[in-house]
Amino acid sequence: MDVLQLDVSGRPQAWLTPKEAATLYVLDHVAWTLGKPCMVMRGGTQRRTGLPSRLSLHPIVAVHGAIPARTWAQAPALSNPKLFQRDRQICAYCGGRFPWTALTREHIVPTSRRGVDSWTNCITACKSCNGRKGNRSLHEMGWQLYYLPYVPSLYEDMILRGRRILSDQMAFLLASVPANSRLHN
């Protein structure tokens, strides 16, 4: 499992390994937690009592510290795994659902025509549709998009980045995801 790290105001910051999360507890950086403890870490032997030390980890931890305001103004980084997940592995041209290995990052306005590599110019396409479209525009092809691209919010981005998301974590993140997001489907 991974632990969801928030800033002290409740905005998501990162996914942590249990070991990284344990370090936050030990260094007393944890401001508050959400959810029932989901994992017990065993440390070394406590010198004073001779008993093994145990640390309960919560699925969501908020940490003390300054909030870098710059972070929130930036769009989340674009990657193929996140793009394919945003689009539910559905080709925007033919509407088919494909395994990751058959999918490509497709630029609606081709990069050869100054299309940019951004969340709003990129959609998921199967290899076959991508090959057929080539460097042409949607208009030239007479094609329409099955869905519209969008920039994921910070909360959506954490869902797209998560590997094994626990139900407490998913509930917390989804509560702040816009109702029109495809992640609700």
Instruction: Supply the minimum distance, in Å, between the C-beta of residue 70 and Zn ion.
Output: 38
- Kindly tell me which residue out of 57, 126, 158, 159 binds Zn ion, with binding defined by CB under 5 A: 126
Residue 129 lies near Zn ion (rule: CB under 5 A): yes
Distance of alpha carbon 22 from alpha carbon 28, whole angstroms: 10
| Amino acid symbol at 130 | N
Q: Residue 174: is it exposed, middle or buried by C-beta count within 10 angstroms (0-12/13-18/19+)? A: middle
Which residues 6+ apart lie within 8 Å of 130 measured at CB? 104, 106
Q: Does 91 bind Zn ion (CB under 5 A)?
A: yes
Residue partners of 34: CB distance under 8 A and separation at least 6: 58, 59, 60, 62, 168, 172
**Total residues interacting with Zn ion, rule: CB under 5 A:** 5
Q: Is 123 in the site for Zn ion (CB under 5 A)?
A: no
Question: Using the rule CB under 5 A, is 122 a contact of Zn ion?
Answer: no
Closer to Zn ion by Cβ: residue 58 or 86? 86
Other CB atoms within 10 A of residue 90 CB? 20
Rounded CA separation 154/38 (Å):
24
Closer residue to Zn ion (CB): 104 or 169? 104
Instruction: Determine the interface stretch with Zn ion among 5-13, 17-25, 44-52, 87-95 (rule: CB under 5 A).
Output: 87-95
How far apart, in whole angstroms, are the C-alpha atoms of residue 138 and residue 56? 53
Among 1, 38, 41, 94, binds Zn ion (CB under 5 A): 94
Stretch that binds Zn ion, among 32-40, 69-77, 81-89, 92-100 (CB under 5 A): 92-100
Taking the complex as a whole, the smallest distance from the CB of residue 116 to Zn ion amounts, in Å, to: 22
Contact call for residue 93 and Zn ion (CB under 5 A): yes
- Give the interface with Zn ion as residue ranges (CB under 5 A): 91, 93-94, 126, 129
